[in-house]
Structure 1
Amino acid sequence: MLAAVAALSPIAWASPSFAQAGERAPQAASGEIIVTARKREESILKVPVVVTAVAGETLENLQVTEVTDLPRLVPSLFLGSNLLSIGPQVTLRGIGTSSSDPGVDQSVSLNIDGMSLGHGLAYGSGMFDVGQVEVLKGPQALFFGKSSPGGVISLRTADPTDELEVIARAGYEFEARGKRGELIVSGPVTETLGARFAATLSEADGYFKNKAVPIVETGAQAGLKRESHPREFIARGTLLWEPTDRFSARFKFTHAFNKATHPESPQLKYCPEEGQAFGVGPLSPVNPIPLIRYPCKLDRTVYNVYPDANSYSNGPLPNDGRPTLKSDQNYGTLELNYSISPDIDITSNTGYYHLKSSSLFGRTASAAPFFAVTNRFRRREFTQEVRVNSDFSSPLNFTLGGFYQDGRMYDRVTFHRNLIYGFIPPTILNDDRATTVHIKTYSLFGQLRYKLSEQLELAGGVRWTDETRRETVFDFQNNVDLTPTLPVPRINANNFSPEATITYTPTDDLTLFASYKKGYKSGSFKIAVPAVAGEDNSFGDEQVQGYEVGLKSRLLDRSLLLNLAFYDYYFKGLQVGGITPSNEGVPVIKTVNAGKARSYGLDLDLAYFPRAVEGLSLNAAVSWNRARYTELNNIGCYTNQTIAMGCVNFPNPLSLDAETGLPRFTAQELSGTQMVRAPEWSGSIGFSYEMPVGNGMRLQFTNNNQISSDYPTFPAVGVPNNSQIQKGFVKVDANLTLKGAEDRWEVALIGRNIGGKVTASTCYTNNGAGQNFLGGNNAGGVTASAAGLPETGCYTDSGRQLWVRLTLRPFGKN
């Protein structure tokens, strides 16, 4: 019975029976959880990696349908929203990407069925019909390569079942007025060939209520009454061919379509000066327009008007002027496994990924924005990895492999200035440029594992990577190729990332390990705002090294699972982004290698299955993390940030303070400050209880609670009211499910974030209108200009969800 209970636990870390959740959760003959943290199947209890594994059944129970939902289950994992084609930004143990630029890869890599992806929009495509999620914490360069200095999120989608399985699922969500349907058909085609098809379609009006009233005389139009009006379609096909016990071929192909209006759900969080947040004041050269007061707090109400499609240059605007993000993603993997001998296996994994997205950004609270931005982004990846792994009975074993990547990014950014605001010169807010980045990567890696005894293993390995990125820039506005003017059109990185591990397993219920690791993330080019003639927009690699020690155990006759790990990592060349204002009010997006950081802390998780209460499981996970920038002094100052507020670095002799006549400073001093999305305390706690209710039916109740302390949402000091800080919160999830005999049907009531807590993981400062109308920007001076202090805006996380869901399995559950 203990095995059945463990399968119902919201999260299982080292449970011997977590895999009992069904065919989707790989398991050994003993029932232990099997993970692939070292690119081969191993027991989670014995692998010397800090990994959280979540079963597909747990994801279904708590209606986890997006990768962005995983932080509810995995402490120290946070995902922040962002605009245009940047996509979600992932942070793990305080390490993540904070740059608002699609050209910057994530510091936490996404791996889907063996193919690694680094772009943020990829995180919106894979969380459907998933067999198991593995979150690997800490650098994973040896086996997963570049773009993993913070860790890896590995998704293993479900494989074909041995018997016919049909799943039909439909749900309705009351808060956002959403609908979701799923269909899965799986089973054998022949004795050696299995197939699986899964598809889901969902749409909603949106959780946030839009109460903005447009001032149409400024070129504004009314927004949707609900945001973000998401639409999603995902379809995946899988073929698994096993003609012999020595060879298998697994092919998967996924198509994902997403469309939403204002998917980042922008809101103003804090306004230091009454009425200023409106955006156009009584000094407007068009007509005197009254100030509109904005509540300036994160809640369910937003105030967003949209630009009129025909009132802007380089128009008309797409989507009838509605700020929209639309993406099409198609990707597939082909995995070939062959046993050369009983002791040597070779694996080939071929991957192809193609992303096409288009987006429009431009909104204010009542009057039309000064400008809108359209973005057309494309990314293509071809990857090939080959691995050879041994399993000799002798003490020495090895893993050897090679990796190749051929990639291409294309990003076209077009500015559209408001034609009604006649005071805006045509020389600004009128750019139309495109950047293309070509990527070639070659990599070799290997690991030797030597058993000093049956209980003690030493392992050492290294990964060598050579990567080249080339940039071209074209100016469509002037029909000029700017590539010959770029001072650095090509960058190259040559990296060695070693790893050493010692693992001690005195019993089957206890593992101790220690490891030293190095990793890195490739440099690239800033492409959110394409380069102008003569601009160097390149940035270098991000590097990490450090160690961790851990313990994994099963206690109290295996009814208590307890894991503990301590880590300490040092980072240099952090790729940090900031939005720096210009005197014209146009935000300049920059990515720089911004110094050094340190992240250290403790991960503790446990699960308890009390034998005295049949059907009950309890789980808790806590992360204490101290992540600080040890050296960070070149992040640009925000609008009107004075010297007293922290704008104290890098004076500009060409820009003088009108009050003192001295050069104004241009950058903040952030050394010693807390890293973005890095709360000192985070955790989850929950339980699951299942009981029979007669006639073969069962009733299950599952609860999970996400807990977080305060964290910054962007790197800055001196922000009015410390509004860059997201205060600590608790989010409560619950599920009540009635299951029919043989699991042929289910009816579930699901609540997510039941308290309706509105939080943000990404925020920014903005004072564009005040700059233009009331005296420009005097950042780095003694006092602020007449424009005053900026507002703080945020891209909010999802709000409360209340689902009712029906699931049918006419042939039973495999």
Structure 2
Amino acid sequence: MTRLINRTVARRIARRALQGVAALAIAGTPFAAQAAIEEVRVEARGQEESIRDIPVAITAVDAKTLQQYSMQSLSDVAAHTPSLEILRILSGTGTSISIRGVSSSAGSLGIEQSVSVIIDGVYFPQGRVINEGLFDSSQVAILKGPQALYFGKNATAGVVAITTNDPGNEFEAMARAGYEVRADQMDGEAMISVPVNDKWGFRIAAAGTKMWGGYFENTAGDTNYTTLDAANGFAATPHFNPAPADKKLPGEESWKTRLTLKATPTDNLTLRLKTSYADVLTNAPGLFELVSCPTLNGQPHRVSGAAPNQVPVPAGTGECNKDWKTGFNNEPPDIAATGGGPNPDSPGLDRFGNGQLGEMYKSFIISGDVDWDMDWADLKLVLNYHRQKNAWVGDNDGGADTSVFAQEFNTFSNYSAEARMATKFDGPVNAVFGFYYQKTHRYFEQSVHFAGAENSAAPAYERYTAYDKYSETDGETVSPYAEVKWSITDQWTLTGGARYIWETKDSYFIQPYVNPAFAGLFVEDRTLAVKQKFDDIIPEATVTWQPSPDLTIFAAYKQGYKSGGFDNGTIDSTLNTSPLDDITFDPESVEGFEAGIKTLLADGTVSIELDAFMYKYNDLQLNFFNAPIFAYQTLNGDMRTTGGELQVTWAPENVDGLTLNAALAYNDSHYTRFLAPCSGGQSIAEGCNVDLNLPLKKQDLAGAPRNLAPKWAGNMGFNYEMPFGNGFVWGLSGNMKFKSKYSLSEFIPDATQKGYVQFDAAIRFGTDDGRWTFAVIGKNLTNEYVLVGVRDAASTGGNTGTANAFRSDLTGYSLPPRTVKFELTYRY
């Protein structure tokens, strides 16, 4: 901490705080003085409770805060939550969600997240579900640590629970329009809620975005891509690739809508039905740029020759700086026009027309729940169906020349049902019984084009393909669970429970076509198939002491479990030592302890939450792409995370309308056992010194820090509201987030992000009844460049595991630069 907050940095923080105040900005709802801290209620144990009574470390973001800072995604929420980080990439599951430094790799489509995303009580396995957004939401709750008992499966690191709004007892309507300057982006949101009668009502909400520009600049120009025809003596044919017309990325367009029906036919019966649709389109999948090119002193490079005598050669045009500039080439139009193969739903490289890049996400969700409140028990039934499609066409090499490009199409469908009964006996002992069932299907296809691959003897749609691949997985989960709650005295409570998980996954993978020039590297038409079965019992126990309504002290023993699986997006390489073992992975488990204190002081004006934890993870599920030899490997490693977090909220009695908040988190998260593949071009002296006789050489990362796991992180914020003239109010808010240095990749030893400070702030003005509000919202006001992940650039780095190795170039994924948004909200 002292290395981060020294005198120089302290002066920097103070200076930037003043700069932030000058640009402050926030969006809002009705303003009112706050005499005490409002109670926040969260559903963390099967029923809605005050956050002060729940023996779980929780950070909750309410609807007002979501609107004030125009939080439209979980990435926005992470900017205000020290223990939460979001990494978004091009391939695989597309997202890695990290809590307390624990996360699963984003690069594998088959690895489900260690942090579960729950929307309205329903578990969504795929990381790209964060595309659903946070429009018309009432709350986002981050539950830290294993949450296996009440949140289905896979919540080994925690839960992000999103709650959307229901229709109320009164008519409501809202319209909001915003304009963000840097990205040249318009967005809007509208809602209408109608109580048809005293028994039922409906609510319709919609949100849309149109981005004419973006916060990334595309510097790619005209290029040529030369192919070598394997069926014609490797005759060379140049393909002209004109400079992309889109110079600003990501050019997002989106449309999202939700319909909610709610009925209360009797006083103790509630029925709810929600349907939602999301359609998101961008002109650049997975925004990344070259951020480090050490081999040629800042010049991007490619590899020439065969190991151990490879040499780096300059990669033509392109730059390697941390400046939100990248070189994304479209695909050569004549190559893209060859089509997408036998699947009519996947037009391949020409999905977006004339070789243009892009990503498409479409999703349909329908869920229903029944809540029956009887005298002796609460019964709840939740049913859900979810289907999503995702497709992209991408420039995958990271440089400004046309070198490596690919297209992908995948679908995922999920059926789930959960039934739960919680008893309400007058005696000291009560119990919860539940049953969860899920059935899933995943389809995946991808084709990769690089190194001048051409084969005129192949089908037209494969002519320029280096290799393609197809995969599917059918999954089924059966999981009963139970918990017993014993009120030993009025102050002491002991709870204990367990969940049983039984799961099967039936998968296959095949590369039906490989260009003959790459027959020595990729395996053609070999089916890798496996039917996996997993089961486990996950117990937990918690003791809670509540000597008064304003003080809760708890200690808990917890376990968590995530079943193994199959990497659908792998590569069947001749260099893989054990093909099936390299694309399957073992279950992930965790056990440990947590303790905390939650208290309300000073007549309800000060809230303090303090927690400490220690967890040991066995077989954390990870995925590695070996860029120099084009091989994927799924693997498992052991890790330990130890730390604590302090959260304080203060509403001063002598300053009406002011609320102050702060959080500080310490986390020591490192591997205890992990033999990992070496990064591209890593030398023996840099730690690549295990299994040097194998194609995939290894390094021992025991003791190395986890990625996205800073030792110190925190935030400080305020919200101030006061009357302004006759019937008007104004508000001012700000938030400072800081993190100490952290690792950007578990596989690249020296890839780190230095400690940083970011400011979000805002100002708003409107009527005191909340009828209308005008706001200006600023994020990352000091324009800090922050990376949240890096990976080896394809076809770079050579002679790995030797004394004359040369390092890969690195592509990085960054947080957005400074943005300033103007927003107008009208409510009726």
Query: TM-score with structure 1 length normalisation?
Result: 0.88
Taking the aligned partners of 2:641 and 2:225, their CA distance within structure 1 comes to 52
**Structure 1 residue 119, shift from structure 2 partner:** 0.9
Match of 2:356 in 1: 322
**Structure 1 residue 716, shift from structure 2 partner:** 2.6
Taking the aligned partners of 1:589 and 1:427, their CA distance within structure 2 comes to 24
Taking the aligned partners of 1:473 and 1:211, their CA distance within structure 2 comes to 37
Does structure 1 residue 193 correspond to structure 2 residue 234?
A: no
Aligned counterpart for 2:777 among listed residues 734, 745, 750: 750
Aligned counterpart for 1:630 among listed residues 646, 666, 672: 672
Taking the aligned partners of 1:111 and 1:562, their CA distance within structure 2 comes to 26
2:322–2:785 Cα contact (<8 Å) kept: yes
Match of 2:264 in 1: 242
Match of 1:693 in 2: 724
Taking the aligned partners of 1:521 and 1:801, their CA distance within structure 2 comes to 38
2:169–2:198 Cα contact (<8 Å) kept: no
Where 1:121 maps in the other structure, the secondary structure is helix
Summarize the Cα distance change of 1:71–1:103 in structure 2 as closer, same or farther, 3 Å threshold: same
Aligned counterpart for 1:599 among listed residues 619, 641, 647: 641
1:413–1:529 Cα contact (<8 Å) kept: no
Aligned counterpart for 2:816 among listed residues 798, 805, 812: 798
Taking the aligned partners of 1:51 and 1:290, their CA distance within structure 2 comes to 50
Taking the aligned partners of 2:453 and 2:510, their CA distance within structure 1 comes to 28
Summarize the Cα distance change of 1:313–1:31 in structure 2 as closer, same or farther, 3 Å threshold: closer
Match of 2:84 in 1: 77
**Structure 1 residue 478, shift from structure 2 partner:** 7.9
Taking the aligned partners of 1:486 and 1:416, their CA distance within structure 2 comes to 21
Taking the aligned partners of 2:196 and 2:428, their CA distance within structure 1 comes to 42
The residue identity in structure 1 corresponding to 2:607 is: L
Query: TM-score with structure 2 length normalisation?
Result: 0.86
1:275–1:292 Cα contact (<8 Å) kept: no
Match of 1:728 in 2: 755
Match of 2:501 in 1: 465
Taking the aligned partners of 1:363 and 1:538, their CA distance within structure 2 comes to 25
Summarize the Cα distance change of 1:206–1:478 in structure 2 as closer, same or farther, 3 Å threshold: closer
Match of 2:519 in 1: none
Match of 1:445 in 2: 481
Where 1:274 maps in the other structure, the secondary structure is coil
1:280–1:291 Cα contact (<8 Å) kept: yes
Match of 1:7 in 2: none
Summarize the Cα distance change of 1:55–1:63 in structure 2 as closer, same or farther, 3 Å threshold: same
Can you list the C-alpha shifts for 1:482-513, whole angstroms capped at 9, x where unaligned? 99965661111101110100000000110000
Taking the aligned partners of 2:151 and 2:809, their CA distance within structure 1 comes to 41
**Structure 1 residue 190, shift from structure 2 partner:** 1.8
The residue identity in structure 2 corresponding to 1:627 is: S
Taking the aligned partners of 1:244 and 1:180, their CA distance within structure 2 comes to 40
Match of 2:518 in 1: none
Range with greater deviation from structure 2 (136-145 or 124-133): 124-133
Can you list the C-alpha shifts for 1:769-804, whole angstroms capped at 9, x where unaligned? x56xxxxx32112222xxx32111112222221000
Where 2:65 maps in the other structure, the secondary structure is helix
Does structure 1 residue 493 correspond to structure 2 residue 531?
A: no
Match of 1:659 in 2: none
Where 2:128 maps in the other structure, the secondary structure is helix
Summarize the Cα distance change of 1:276–1:739 in structure 2 as closer, same or farther, 3 Å threshold: closer
Aligned 1:493-572 pairs, distance under 5 A = 493-529=534-570, 531=572, 535-536=579-580, 537-572=583-618
Seq. identity, % = 29
1:327–1:358 Cα contact (<8 Å) kept: yes
Match of 1:430 in 2: 466
Does structure 1 residue 782 correspond to structure 2 residue 782?
A: no
2:689–2:699 Cα contact (<8 Å) kept: yes
Where 1:124 maps in the other structure, the secondary structure is helix
Aligned 1:21-100 pairs, distance under 5 A = 32-84=39-91, 86-100=93-107
Taking the aligned partners of 1:394 and 1:510, their CA distance within structure 2 comes to 23
CA RMSD of aligned residues (A): 2.8
**Structure 1 residue 647, shift from structure 2 partner:** 0.7
Aligned counterpart for 1:214 among listed residues 206, 211, 222: 222
Where 2:486 maps in the other structure, the secondary structure is strand
2:225–2:332 Cα contact (<8 Å) kept: no
1:473–1:483 Cα contact (<8 Å) kept: no
1:98–1:714 Cα contact (<8 Å) kept: no
Can you list the C-alpha shifts for 1:399-456, whole angstroms capped at 9, x where unaligned? 0000000101111111224648899x99996222211000000000000000110110
Where 2:214 maps in the other structure, the secondary structure is coil
The residue identity in structure 2 corresponding to 1:431 is: Y
1:305–1:363 Cα contact (<8 Å) kept: no
1:371–1:429 Cα contact (<8 Å) kept: no
Taking the aligned partners of 1:611 and 1:125, their CA distance within structure 2 comes to 39
Taking the aligned partners of 2:338 and 2:437, their CA distance within structure 1 comes to 40
**Structure 1 residue 280, shift from structure 2 partner:** 6.1
Range with greater deviation from structure 2 (706-715 or 215-224): 215-224
Where 2:78 maps in the other structure, the secondary structure is helix
The count of residues paired between Structure 1 and Structure 2 equals: 750
Range with greater deviation from structure 2 (487-496 or 547-556): 487-496
Aligned counterpart for 1:347 among listed residues 361, 380, 397: 380
Taking the aligned partners of 1:327 and 1:275, their CA distance within structure 2 comes to 38
Does structure 1 residue 739 correspond to structure 2 residue 772?
A: no
Summarize the Cα distance change of 1:387–1:492 in structure 2 as closer, same or farther, 3 Å threshold: same
Aligned 1:402-421 pairs, distance under 5 A = 402-417=435-450, 419=452
Can you list the C-alpha shifts for 1:26-68, whole angstroms capped at 9, x where unaligned? xxxx963211111111111011111111101100100100112
Match of 1:148 in 2: 155
Aligned counterpart for 1:376 among listed residues 405, 409, 430: 409
Summarize the Cα distance change of 1:281–1:716 in structure 2 as closer, same or farther, 3 Å threshold: closer
Match of 1:273 in 2: 295
Match of 2:691 in 1: 650
The residue identity in structure 2 corresponding to 1:573 is: D
The residue identity in structure 1 corresponding to 2:361 is: S
**Structure 1 residue 304, shift from structure 2 partner:** 2.5
Summarize the Cα distance change of 1:72–1:371 in structure 2 as closer, same or farther, 3 Å threshold: closer
Aligned counterpart for 2:743 among listed residues 672, 690, 712: 712
**Structure 1 residue 79, shift from structure 2 partner:** 0.5
Taking the aligned partners of 1:311 and 1:478, their CA distance within structure 2 comes to 17
**Structure 1 residue 360, shift from structure 2 partner:** 1.3
Taking the aligned partners of 1:393 and 1:531, their CA distance within structure 2 comes to 61
Aligned 1:100-249 pairs, distance under 5 A = 100-204=107-211, 205-216=213-224, 219=239, 220-223=241-244, 224-249=246-271
Match of 1:3 in 2: none
Match of 1:13 in 2: none
Taking the aligned partners of 2:452 and 2:709, their CA distance within structure 1 comes to 42
Range with greater deviation from structure 2 (154-163 or 637-646): 637-646
Summarize the Cα distance change of 1:478–1:756 in structure 2 as closer, same or farther, 3 Å threshold: closer
Taking the aligned partners of 2:264 and 2:393, their CA distance within structure 1 comes to 47
1:623–1:683 Cα contact (<8 Å) kept: yes
1:216–1:367 Cα contact (<8 Å) kept: no
Aligned counterpart for 1:619 among listed residues 630, 650, 661: 661
Range with greater deviation from structure 2 (449-458 or 756-765): 756-765
**Structure 1 residue 86, shift from structure 2 partner:** 2.3
Taking the aligned partners of 1:210 and 1:436, their CA distance within structure 2 comes to 35
Taking the aligned partners of 2:337 and 2:686, their CA distance within structure 1 comes to 37
Taking the aligned partners of 1:398 and 1:605, their CA distance within structure 2 comes to 31
Does structure 1 residue 454 correspond to structure 2 residue 486?
A: no
Match of 1:12 in 2: none
Taking the aligned partners of 2:661 and 2:822, their CA distance within structure 1 comes to 25
1:470–1:491 Cα contact (<8 Å) kept: yes
2:482–2:499 Cα contact (<8 Å) kept: yes
Q: Which runs of 5+ in 1 are unaligned?
A: 1-19, 24-29, 284-288, 656-664, 772-776
The residue identity in structure 1 corresponding to 2:292 is: Y
Taking the aligned partners of 1:493 and 1:484, their CA distance within structure 2 comes to 29
Taking the aligned partners of 2:434 and 2:679, their CA distance within structure 1 comes to 46
**Structure 1 residue 350, shift from structure 2 partner:** 0.4
